Structure 1
Amino acid sequence: MECVRTDVVIVGGGPVGLLLATELARYGVRTVVLEERAEVSGRPRATTLHARTAQVLARRGYLPAPALPLTEEAVSAPFHFAGLWGLELTAPAGEPEPLLKRPQAVLERDFEERARAAGALVLRQYRVVGLEHSERSVVVTAEHPRGRVEFEAAYVVGADGARSAVRALGGIPADESAPTVSAMVGVVRCAGEGVPEPGWHRTPRGWAVAKETHDGRWHLRVVDCLTPAADHRLPLGLEEFRRATSKVMGRDIDMDEPCSLSRFSDFSRLARSYRSGRLLLVGDAAHVHFPIGAQGLSTGLLDALNLGWKLAFTVRGVAAEGLLDSYDAERRPAAARLLEQVRKQVDLMRPVNTPVSLAELTAATGTAADVATETVRLALMVSGQDTVLPPRSRYPSLWEGRFLYNLELATDNGPVDAIRLLADGCMTLVRFGPTAPDWAPPPRLRGALRVVRSAPVPGLPCAALLLRPDGYIAWAADTAGDLVDIDEAVTAWLTPRSGVATMESATPVLTGSVPAGV
């Protein structure tokens, strides 16, 4: 059997897996993606990216940076919580809009093109059937139209969805909750008096969301809160979909020309760990929840953006001890919060519990000021902008773990904003003030860390900031006296192994070969 040796194998070529592949390949990590499907699925899927996901994508160069100087005002967009409209999602000035429309299929094609251009090997029609995990490596066995092939890698990442083969074959346990509602989705053509009105429809039996497509069809999502969920693997036909829609709507809905009919529910799953030795999980392989609030795709992409640079630095030999474990420490709590938030939304959407409005829901906190505060809190939570990461320093500044929103820096090399500053994937030490003493990183950290000197920034009272590639603050010196801790701060994140090449010398070359024409 042919054996291909590489650094990382990613199982699953959806947008999350392909984004991770792009990130790794851009850092010079030899990366192979194994995907069962022959082509990108055209089924209606997620279409929205929330603010924090768009902000990190911009810092990694996947979205255009704003023009300089930064003069744009904050941008807001209306949104809902549990189907109750009233949230105002806001992105600060200089950031992407807070609700970015990007269909999942478009993202998948874009990331695949970028992954291939960066040097990743993307193989379609490869189904994983075996996995052997040891202290030194992982061997993945995959079937393809011409036979079988093995891939030996330092790490394997499961990006293969809710029925993850990596999670199952790797024996990674997960906590699950049983479904309580039955839901269906599909695209159909409706005619006559049965044509639904666009928007949200709440009834004593559940709720439905109707949206007209560009070709005059209807994209319908129907949730029956009174009927136990059927096995989501059972095929869904037009007649069953019509009956379920008519039942929830309380009137006959005539429909034909169905496509993309499927079932879903509020079943949830959360892996107990996102890392088991040399196995890691991202996206739906790690967490599954009811698809409300357009948060699933954004959460998966944030997983990939968090893991990408940490895994690359680990493979390239510059990561400090425990850096890769911080992926689980940062992303699993975020998913746990999301699952709890989604459960609350589903409970609020049951006919017996549904408030009349978001104002009624938030008014339970008391005063009008409390209502306003609670609405802002919900908006930040839904958009992911309330995330603060756990610190790694012994005596962390209040800045550590927070996200640095886009701002303009007057550096020795001219003006630059935070988005452009991080686009090359380095950790970046920014030192403020003309009298800041020089400090240079160890030679073996070339390509992983760089130092920039900037004039002080109004509203940012820091002597120095250590920025991660994803835009979060890894360390901050509040005063000039704190600069003596730079060495300790850097080594908490980056500790090069002796005898390892610098990050700059990366040339990804696979050993072994895969069947031609596949």
Structure 2
Amino acid sequence: MEKNNADPHVIVVGAGPTGLMLAGELRLGGARVTVVERLAEPTGQSRGLGFTARAMEVFDQRDLLPRFGTLEKSPMGHFGGVQFDYTVLPDGHFGARGVPQSLTESVLEEWAVELGADLRRGWELLELAQDDDGVGIVAATPHGVQRLRADYLVGCDGGQSGVRKAGGFDFPGMPATRGMYLADVVGCDLRPRFLGERLPGGMVMAAPLGDGVDRIIVCEHGTPADDRSSTPSFAEVADAWERITGESIHAGSAKWVSSFTDATRQVGEYRRGRVLLAGDAAHIHLPAGGQGLSTGVQDAANLGWKLAATVAGWAPPGLLDTYHDERHATGARLLMNTRAQGMVFLGGAEADPVRAVLTELIGIPEVKRHLAGIVSGLDVRYDLGGDHPLLGRRIPPRPLAGSAGGTSTTRLLHPAQGVLLDFADDPALRAVAAGWKDRVNVATVTAEPDAGLGAAAAVLVRPDGYVAWVAGGAEDLPAALGRWFGAPTGSAAP
């Protein structure tokens, strides 16, 4: 099947938060994008009820936070059910709480479509095949079997990813050891158990969502860990709740019910040729603190500009491979911390000594900062080959002043291009960067002395918000620009 000029550059499979975020990022980079989604309509269900501090920063750098309305930041979070204050970190908090995943998907869908993404619902992937020139798919659609071809394809289709299976990706990890129920219930007259309550028969959690709806999680010791092919009934959930708590909720009902396990797996490679994976398609784990959705959004922000640069032809050699290098390591830490939390939080009496030790350790400020950084995502640092404290980290959200008035590190990232922050008003640096003016915006600005920018004379920031170069480092500016943004305009393509 030959590709024509009307075909997309990229096919994204899956219209969850990861796929929609990726579609928007690709469109900002100028790529033609088609998103295919198996479901004809959004389910309206919301497994996730918020996102982490780092995901908030990602949304903010694309000016998306106002679309969510008023967001409540939670200073208090937990690790394995042991609560503590996440503001021990600069800019730290547990994340935005009480945001239904359905709202997140709605915001991202509206944004991606506004930018020109082609969203096709009711398209179920049947086959995919790649060759040296592109990727083709066969899908069942409301209008019969359809074929589509693109330069690249990204699977954002969740934990049961069809792309992962069809693409031949391995998926090693730890099998499930326990099964759990998740439901939004009404008419159950529940007392809140925000962080969960451990009882001899298992763990239960209950949190009011408003309008008489409660979110419950039920983890009964001995529940089979097999992945279910059918949706559990409310009666099954109510029976398990009563066995654990002695309370009956059978008089109530459920708006929706689902089940999940503590299986922990990650693909060995995020890219196989022209097929890539992101979000739950690349890593599955026990839900803990909105980290799954948030990590998927960050996968998309990391991949989007790199893949757009690749199809546009200006990406330097190896740029697309840095997606795996950077995000696989981040995903591995996600699996490590969620598995540890599961052992502490869901274990029975045998885990009591571990919980006691963890409670003591969290009293130590350094431990608080470490654990808060892991869960919030604020500790992510990519290994870019230097030792400056900013290098490889995300530029902190700070106000800036310039000749055109006030701005911020976040606002300068709205166009999803690179940014050279010139704090020293250095015309020589600006002259060097002029060769990349179609990919890197230069801003001559000043910051407050305590802004956490390390008194740097200049900083180069990638489109995903991560610092790629700091003046005075081992690498000079032309080399850094070439490494991340390809050859300057007018020179030979890489």
* TM-score where L is the length of structure 2: 0.89
1:468 counterpart residue number: 462
For residue 186 of structure 2, give the secondary structure of its aligned residue in structure 1.
strand
Matches within 5 A, 1:493-504: 493-496=484-487
TM-fit CA distance, 1:198: 4.0
**Is 2:17 the partner of 1:15?**
yes
2:264 counterpart residue number: 268
Decide whether the 8 Å contact of 1:318 with 1:497 is kept in 2.
Answer: no
The alignment-based identity, stated in percent, is 34
**Is 2:450 the partner of 1:437?**
no
TM-fit CA distance, 1:388: 0.9
Amino acid at match of 1:189: V
**Is 2:296 the partner of 1:300?**
yes
- For 1:254 and 1:183, locate their aligned partners in 2 and report how far apart those are by CA, in whole Å: 18
Matches within 5 A, 1:149-298: 149-191=146-188, 195-199=190-194, 200-298=196-294
For residue 492 of structure 1, give the secondary structure of its aligned residue in structure 2.
helix
**Is 2:358 the partner of 1:361?**
yes
- For 2:187 and 2:227, locate their aligned partners in 1 and report how far apart those are by CA, in whole Å: 27
- For 1:318 and 1:8, locate their aligned partners in 2 and report how far apart those are by CA, in whole Å: 16
Which range is displaced more, 47-56 or 95-104? Answer: 95-104
Decide whether the 8 Å contact of 1:189 with 1:255 is kept in 2.
Answer: no
Amino acid at match of 1:129: L
- Structure 2 residue corresponding to 1:49, chosen from 38, 48, 51: 51
TM-fit CA distance, 1:107: 1.3
2:115 counterpart residue number: 118
- For 1:234 and 1:276, locate their aligned partners in 2 and report how far apart those are by CA, in whole Å: 31
For residue 140 of structure 1, give the secondary structure of its aligned residue in structure 2.
strand
- Structure 1 residue corresponding to 2:62, chosen from 33, 37, 60: 60
- For 1:181 and 1:290, locate their aligned partners in 2 and report how far apart those are by CA, in whole Å: 10
Amino acid at match of 2:408: D
Amino acid at match of 1:20: L
**Is 2:367 the partner of 1:374?**
yes
Amino acid at match of 1:283: G
- Structure 1 residue corresponding to 2:321, chosen from 298, 322, 325: 325
1:420 counterpart residue number: 411
Decide whether the 8 Å contact of 2:88 with 2:368 is kept in 1.
Answer: no
Decide whether the 8 Å contact of 2:98 with 2:209 is kept in 1.
Answer: no
- Structure 1 residue corresponding to 2:104, chosen from 99, 104, 107: 107
Q: Residues 25-82 of structure 1, C-alpha deviation per residue, up to 9 Å, x if partnerless?
A: 12221000000111111123201111111112111221249xxxxxxxxx76111111
Q: Residues 408-441 of structure 1, C-alpha deviation per residue, up to 9 Å, x if partnerless?
A: 3333433321011111111111222245524335
* TM-score where L is the length of structure 1: 0.86
Which structure 2 segments of 5+ residues have no match? Answer: 68-72
Q: How much is the aligned-residue C-alpha RMSD, in angstroms?
A: 2.8
**Is 2:471 the partner of 1:477?**
yes
Identify if the C-alpha distance between structure 1 residues 98 and 259 changes in structure 2 by more than 3 Å, giving closer, same or farther.
Answer: closer
Amino acid at match of 1:404: I
- Structure 2 residue corresponding to 1:389, chosen from 366, 374, 382: 382
Decide whether the 8 Å contact of 1:9 with 1:155 is kept in 2.
Answer: yes
Amino acid at match of 1:279: V
Decide whether the 8 Å contact of 1:51 with 1:91 is kept in 2.
Answer: no
- For 1:407 and 1:259, locate their aligned partners in 2 and report how far apart those are by CA, in whole Å: 42
TM-fit CA distance, 1:15: 1.5
